[in-house]
């Protein structure tokens, strides 16, 4: 464990002493699944109250319009919750971005709704790690900063969105706007592993729906007059799957369509996720999707409408990102917290921030595990650990910029 300055020691102790566990328990008691607008509204109000203790005025920002394709191939509006946004000292010499999300993957009717202690230091509950624990860590570190003389050097924006778990379609613009001009960003997803390992490089992610429109006909009397949308969609699925190569995964997730056995189906909807490891692979995949759609439409004499995009750009390791990871690792070492990082196959808002040219460490949240399942848990002692790590990281960034 390294020697901290008096100012750093104050920051670390202040952050670690915050009442984070009470906050997590209160917040996790509210179901804030991505589609539960009432729960998200309640959560947003609680967070606005909690962040009101910082300078600036928390704002609840309306979500951007979003549409999705239903099983029948119709484009429908999708409701999303409001996002929390806070700006503090926009003229300070060092500008940082802090992000998190208030939504969880557990809808209002999901059976996993209760908190339970598994062991003395293990709290099981919906969103305790991903990421209501992380939001508590972020707030503790920022409150510590505001109690320190270093605060005058640091300006920042906070964005806590309501739709991260569904790809941030209604908050991507807000994130991009907040990222402008920032030296660095910290995002409070839980650590990649329960030991505190951080996520490094991440692939991008694109979610696509392909609406295939053919022509119906009698399956016995005149099948030659039909244009089978299900067969065309299956052909497209196989062609997209054939794009798989090192650095690019393709997951055909679902197909809807068809009807009675004696009717050539005239409608199908195919849903696919692609994850490219680099911007070059993303551009290659995007072009290949266009070629596959054109070829299948021509060969099957059907119409195909593509809906969706690469909403999460790839997040490769860059020199500026490696430098930021190094700063966090040194802060961890000085706190007796060994910090390492490894590539992750998952995606998050860190992808979007990195695409704006801002280095971001996106797993500054708590240690825990089994996220997105009813076994999700928080290692409670990691609240103080990670709040201290964030506070010291902010202090080192401030000192670096002095």
Q: Which two tokens stand for residue 358?
A: 């801002």
Residue written as tokens 């990281």? 393
CATH number of this structure's domain 220-312, picked from the four choices 3.30.70.360, 3.40.50.720, 3.40.640.10, 3.30.750.24: 3.30.70.360
Higher pLDDT, 213 or 401: 213
**Which tens digit of pLDDT belongs to each residue from 225-276?**
999 999 999 999 999 999 999 999 999 999 999 999 999 999 999 999 999 9
300 contact partners, CB below 8 Å, separation of at least 6: 214, 227, 228, 231, 232, 235
Per-position b or e across 287-314, b if 16+ CB within 10 A of its CB: ebbeebbeebbeebebebeebbebbbbb
Separation between Cα atoms, residue 132 and residue 29, nearest integer Å: 10
Q: What pLDDT is recorded for position 401? A: 82
Q: How confident is the model at residue 3 (pLDDT cuts 50, 70, 90)?
A: confident
Q: What pLDDT is recorded for position 172? A: 98
- Cα–Cα distances (Å) from 156 to 75, 132, 184, 388, in that order, read 37, 20, 10, 18
**Which tens digit of pLDDT belongs to each residue from 180-208?**
999 999 999 999 999 999 999 999 999 99
Separation between Cα atoms, residue 129 and residue 375, nearest integer Å: 11
Kindly report, as residue ranges, where domains of CATH 3.30.70.360 are found in the chain. Answer: 220-312
Give me the helices (H) in 93-208, please: 133-146, 172-179
**Does residue 1 have a pLDDT over 70?**
no
Region 6-202+315-401: CATH code: 3.40.630.10
The DSSP string of 275-292 is EESSHHHHHHHHHHHHHH
Average pLDDT for 358-369 = 98
**Which tens digit of pLDDT belongs to each residue from 95-146?**
999 999 999 999 999 999 999 999 999 999 999 999 999 999 999 999 999 9
Separation between Cα atoms, residue 103 and residue 388, nearest integer Å: 25
**Which tens digit of pLDDT belongs to each residue from 30-85?**
999 999 999 999 999 999 999 999 999 999 999 999 999 999 999 999 999 999 99
Separation between Cα atoms, residue 362 and residue 357, nearest integer Å: 14
**Which tens digit of pLDDT belongs to each residue from 386-399?**
999 999 999 999 99
Kindly report, as residue ranges, where domains of CATH 3.40.630.10 are found in the chain. Answer: 6-202+315-401
């Amino acid at each position: 464990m390294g020697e901290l300055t008096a100012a750093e020691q104050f920051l670390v102790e202040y952050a670690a002493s915050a009442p984070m566990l009470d906050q997590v328990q209160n917040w996790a008691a509210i179901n804030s699944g991505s589609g539960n607008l009432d729960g998200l509204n309640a959560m947003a109000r609680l967070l606005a109250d909690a962040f009101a203790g910082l300078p600036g005025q928390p704002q609840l920002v309306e979500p951007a319009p979003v549409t999705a394709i239903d099983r029948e191939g119709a484009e429908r509006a999708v409701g999303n919750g409001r996002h929390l946004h806070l700006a503090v000292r926009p003229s300070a010499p060092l500008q940082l971005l802090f992000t998190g999300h208030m939504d969880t993957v557990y809808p209002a009717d999901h059976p996993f709704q209760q908190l339970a202690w598994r062991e003395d230091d293990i709290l099981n509950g919906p969103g305790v790690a991903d990421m209501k624990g992380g939001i508590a860590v972020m707030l503790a570190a920022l409150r510590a900063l505001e109690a320190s003389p270093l605060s005058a050097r640091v300006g920042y924006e906070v964005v806590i969105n309501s739709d991260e778990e569904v790809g941030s379609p209604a908050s991507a613009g807000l994130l991009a706007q907040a990222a402008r001009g920032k030296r660095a960003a910290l995002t409070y997803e839980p650590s990649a592993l329960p030991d505190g390992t951080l996520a490094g490089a991440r692939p991008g992610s694109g979610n696509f729906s392909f609406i295939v429109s053919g022509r119906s006909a009698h399956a016995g009397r005149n099948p030659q007059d039909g244009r089978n949308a299900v067969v065309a969609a299956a052909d497209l699925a196989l062609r997209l799957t054939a794009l798989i190569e090192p650095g690019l995964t393709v997951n055909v997730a679902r197909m809807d369509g068809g009807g009675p056995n004696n009717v050539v189906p005239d409608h199908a909807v195919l849903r696919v996720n692609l994850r490219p490891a680099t911007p070059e692979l993303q551009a290659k995949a995007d072009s290949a999707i266009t070629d596959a759609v054109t070829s299948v439409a021509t060969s099957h004499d059907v119409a195909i409408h593509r809906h969706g995009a690469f909403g999460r750009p790839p997040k490769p390791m860059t020199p500026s990102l490696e430098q930021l990871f190094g700063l966090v690792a040194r802060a961890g070492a000085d706190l007796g917290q060994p910090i390492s990082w490894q590539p992750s196959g998952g995606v998050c808002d860190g992808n979007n921030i990195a695409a704006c040219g801002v280095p971001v460490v996106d797993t500054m949240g708590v240690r825990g595990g089994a996220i997105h399942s009813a076994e999700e848990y928080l290692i409670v002692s990691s609240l103080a650990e990670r709040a201290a790590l964030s506070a010291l990281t902010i202090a080192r960034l401030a000192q670096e910029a002095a």
